[in-house]
Amino acid sequence: MSHRPLVALSLLAPVSVFATVVIAMSMEEMTERSPLVVRGTVHRVDTQWAEGRSKIWTYSEIVVQETLKGAARTSVLVKQPGGVIGNIGEHVSGAATFTPGEDVVLFLEPAVDEPNCFVPFAMSAAKVSLVSKGGKRVALRDLSGVSLASPGKQGVVRPVDERETLGFEDAFLARIRAAAKGGAR
């Protein structure tokens, strides 16, 4: 019996213990593959127990300012695993966090288990915050708790754990609008 598969799994174990692995994609690829892309403001964040109190879910209501791709909507409800209720918390590495008042661009897909809810297409990699930095508005993506996988390449999984600046707000939004229309990649 060969021990190579066990060695390979043990080498990957540290990444999977501390991070959620998502496929590395450009913003254009995320736009193409996400059924819904919106820019909006986080209105409220609520945590709830799943039936049977076995799991905690966090729901974030986003007031949509612009639908960049997909059917136009005035708001979306984003569902994610984890959260805190009272003194009980459940942490899920790679889950995006939302703060009321935050300006965001989200790459979403329908939740398979709950009608009228959406989930981030690639965990926290599917959430871009539009913030002021040094007097300018920039697009930032928080990749804490995420490792990016590049199938077919050497070094398939790359831990990230950092904030990524994606450019100035206007240029970033123009890039996403162009990608949604099938523009240059």
> Does residue 4 surpass a pLDDT of 50?
no
Query: For 19-180, which CATH class?
Result: mainly beta
Amino acid at 154: Q
Q: Which residue has the higher pLDDT, 185 or 119?
A: 119
Q: How confident is the model at residue 19 (pLDDT cuts 50, 70, 90)?
A: low
Q: Which residue has the higher pLDDT, 27 or 107?
A: 107
The pLDDT value given to residue 145: 77
Q: How confident is the model at residue 43 (pLDDT cuts 50, 70, 90)?
A: very high
The pLDDT value given to residue 47: 92
List strand residue ranges (DSSP E) for the chain, in order: 20-23, 36-49, 56-69, 75-81, 83-85, 88-90, 103-110, 118-124, 127-133, 136-142, 146-149, 157-159, 163-168
